[in-house]
Amino acid sequence: MSVKFYQPENQVPLEMHKVRVVQKLSLLPVEERLKCIQEAGNNTFLLQNKDVFMDMLTDSGVNGMSDQQVASMSIADDSYAGSETFNRVKAAVKEVFGTDNVLPAHQGRAAENILAEAYVKPGMVTLMNFHFTTTKAHITRLGGEVIELVDKKGLIPKSDDPFKGNFDLKALRAAIKKYGPEKVAFVRIEAGTNLIGGQPVSLENMLAVADICHEFGVKSVLDASLLQDNVYFMKVREPQCKFMETKEIYRLLADKMDIIYFSARKLGFSRGGIITAHDKKFTDEMMEFVPLYEGFLTYGGMEVRSMEAMAVGLLESLDMEYISQGPEFIAYLVNELDKYGVPVIKPAGGLGAHLNCSEIVPNIPHNQYPADAVATALYIAGGIRGMERGTLSEQREPDGTERYAELELLRLAVPRRVFTLSQIKYCADRVKWMYDNRNLIGGLEWVSEPKVLRFFFGRLKEIGYWQEELVAKFRADFGDSL
Ligand code: F0G
């Protein structure tokens, strides 16, 4: 919630918490940054955290924990079966979503594996506003297909559309009719959308999607991993939500969905994953896979202390003073970058700021991975680790051809309750420098390309010597600064 400053020019987002535990950071000299990124195969996933100044790779499992969360960890009840800790998790899930049936999984993608194992058969389709990498990998692994039905407005990089994650409802109806409800394994709503800029889905749109599912007898599934940011956007951008309690919004959604799952690395400021449903039928259908892949039904591969932290963190996801911090810092960063003329996805979404690399380096073709090239340039510029969310993060088609991403993005995640505003300002400043020197940035080519989820461990090298030129320019402009 924004606090109004007396002097308008002083207005910035204000943290409603204070920092009581700190971690020292190191910013290496630019020559060492060059060496580190090249040794990491120009893949920011392969950088060592000790070599990173601002870790903006992800908001997953790296959010700041509250004192209450840390305190709760000391009462964790460590038993193989029937732990009290699981009861506290169940109570928190019930408080947030109103659901009674809860299955644990070690993280979000494990929940996706279980969901896919239970419902996806060869030749089936899954309909969703947009895919997420791990979701799609599990579905296609089992012979299913992913069909994306995000409203086309969502793919326009800059607009003032408040809900760019919305489904095209007409296209959803048409798709269910085209394939037939029996071939639709489920409809999945990702709120907010990860790969298209953390853009939210409106309450109205989500409820309409659920209604269409019910009309055709198709299962509705909510991926709630990014729901806390999405609920913030509903509160501030959707008139009907303005005066609703956050809990009312979570409950309204949950009442309409057949199945909800989430990564507690995001929702819940902790670690782990959860699947929950009002109707026991669904959890019964998925239950057998939990002991098989995850662990017993009262821990599902999670560590009990993380479960305690999740239980407290879920309740914090109802608190606007906590959930506004991420989106407000992101909006600040996006607005700074926009003022500097840097192409960035607008309006600001959740999760992080997203640089539109197709515009930053328009001459680098998709198959030289422009978004990853920008990621390496930004690490060189400022020790800032972002994540490529473009063609490199796609899977090749079954025939081996590249699948070009709709948007070539570099994501700068803003983990919740972690960075200070001066660090965010530093980030904006180094992005601006990199942007002003974008003519130096060149493409990348494969050294080794894994078949599955290649962005995690693939290795690339620069084409030519553009990274060395960027370092020389940095020295010329910044003198002996780190
Ligand atoms: N769904 C969404 C929308 C996600 O953003 C993620 C993870 C998952 C599912 C999978 O959850 O990581 O706990 O297995 N997103 C992370 C990211 C990895 O960095 O965007 P997980």
| % the chain with pLDDT above 70 | 100
Indicate the fold that domain 67-318 takes in CATH: Aspartate Aminotransferase; domain 2 (3.40.640)
CB distance 273 to ligand 1 below 6 Å: yes
What mean pLDDT is predicted for residues 229-255?
97
Is CATH 3.30.540.10 correct for 8-59+322-478?
no
How many C-beta neighbours within 10 Å does residue 105 have? 29
pTM comes to 0.95
Per-residue pLDDT band for 249 (boundaries 50, 70, 90) equals very high
Buried b (16+ CB within 10 A) or exposed e, 162-175: ebbbbbbeebbeeb
CB distance 58 to ligand 1 below 6 Å: yes
pLDDT of 474 over the 80 cut: yes
* pLDDT attached to residue 202: 98
Residue 108 Cα to ligand 1 midpoint, Å, equals 6
* pLDDT attached to residue 162: 97
Residues 268, 92: Cα–Cα separation, whole Å: 10
**Nearest CA-CA partner of 96 in 235, 263, 223, 276:** 276
| % the chain with pLDDT above 90 | 96
* pLDDT attached to residue 1: 56
Domain boundaries, the chain: 8-59+322-478, 67-318
Q: Enter the DSSP assignment of 292.
A: I
Tens-place pLDDT, residues 308-350? 999 999 999 999 999 999 999 999 999 999 999 999 999 999 9
CB distance 85 to ligand 1 below 6 Å: no
Tens-place pLDDT, residues 198-225? 999 999 999 999 999 999 999 999 999 9
Residues 15, 3: Cα–Cα separation, whole Å: 10
Residues 61, 50: Cα–Cα separation, whole Å: 17
> Which stretches within 317-420 are classed as H helix?
320-323, 325-339, 357-360, 370-382
Q: What are the residue numbers of the active site? A: 80, 132-133, 223, 266, 389, 455
Longest dimension (CA), the chain: 65
Please measure the distance between the N-terminal and C-terminal CA atoms of the chain and give it in whole angstroms.
Answer: 35
Tens-place pLDDT, residues 383-401? 999 999 999 999 898 899 9
CB distance 270 to ligand 1 below 6 Å: no
388 close to 410: Cβ distance less than 8 angstroms: yes
Tell me the average pLDDT of the chain: 96
Tens-place pLDDT, residues 20-42? 999 999 999 999 999 999 999 99
**Whose C-alpha lies nearest to ligand 1, atom 8?**
108
Structure tokens at 58: 């992800």
CB distance 137 to ligand 1 below 6 Å: no
Alpha carbon distances (Å) from 147 to 117, 125, 396, 473: 18, 7, 16, 44
pLDDT of 136 over the 80 cut: yes
Q: 408 in helix, strand or coil? A: coil
Residue 133 Cα to ligand 1 midpoint, Å, equals 8
Residues 348, 342: Cα–Cα separation, whole Å: 13
Residues 47, 386: Cα–Cα separation, whole Å: 11
Q: Do domains 8-59+322-478 and 67-318 have the same CATH topology?
A: no
Tens-place pLDDT, residues 38-50? 999 999 999 999 9
H/E run at residue 185: strand 184-190
**Whose C-alpha lies nearest to ligand 1, atom 2?**
225
What mean pLDDT is predicted for residues 442-459?
95
For helices 227-237 and 246-256, angle between their N-to-C axes, nearest 10 degrees: 110
